[in-house]
Amino acid sequence: MNKIVSKISSKAQTVIPREIREKLGVGPGDRLLYRDTEAGVVIEKVDEDIPENPFEAFWEWGTPEDDEAFKDL
């Protein structure tokens, strides 16, 4: 397996190396999904049929208490 390194900017941005973009089949405007697994972080291209979930960023608010508090919203 080849190792490819990219640098993170002060704004937490990075360039996805060409080899990885080609392997994922991604380009400008495509969305990526990051899955945290026991083996490491997996990056996948998001299928166009999957709608964006604006609450994915707030996964830490996913307790049963939160579900109850926000169920009527």
pLDDT at 58: 61
Which pLDDT band, with edges at 50, 70 and 90, does 7 fall under? very high
Confidence at residue 38, expressed as pLDDT on a 0 to 100 scale: 93
Helix (H), strand (E), coil (C) string for the chain: CCCCCCCCCCCCCCCCCHHHHHHHCCCCCCCEEEEEECCEEEEEECCCCCCCCCCHHHHHHCCHHHHHHCCCC
Model pLDDT for residues 8-63, shown as the tens digit of each residue = 999 999 999 999 999 999 999 898 989 999 999 999 998 766 666 666 656 666 67
